[in-house]
Amino acid sequence: MAQLLVRHLDDDVKAKLQRRARHHGHSTEEEVREILRNAVRDEGGTRAPLGSRFASRFAGLGLTQDVPELRGEQARPADLES
């Protein structure tokens, strides 16, 4: 496995990483590995469009009504009274 040395890390960044690691029950080293893994996870891959991701996320809730396209329409305040 590769190794990475990070020099000149601010003290407050190190302290926050240590607190975050304790919160997740990891060592600081494991926490940094996890952060780096997450940061590059989708590199080079193609992501589905946002609307498709929403649809797949909420597909199991039984929401079957299409949301009308609002592109080009004037913004208006929400009606919270009805």
Domain made up of 11-57: CATH architecture: Orthogonal Bundle (1.10)
The Cα 72–Cα 59 span in angstroms is 27
Q: How far is CA 48 from CA 4, 8, 20, 56, 63, in A?
A: 32, 38, 30, 10, 20
Q: What is the pLDDT of residue 70?
A: 77
The Cα 25–Cα 70 span in angstroms is 45
Average pLDDT value for the chain: 88
Q: What is the pLDDT of residues 23-61, one digit of tens each?
A: 999 999 999 999 999 998 877 777 788 888 888 888 888
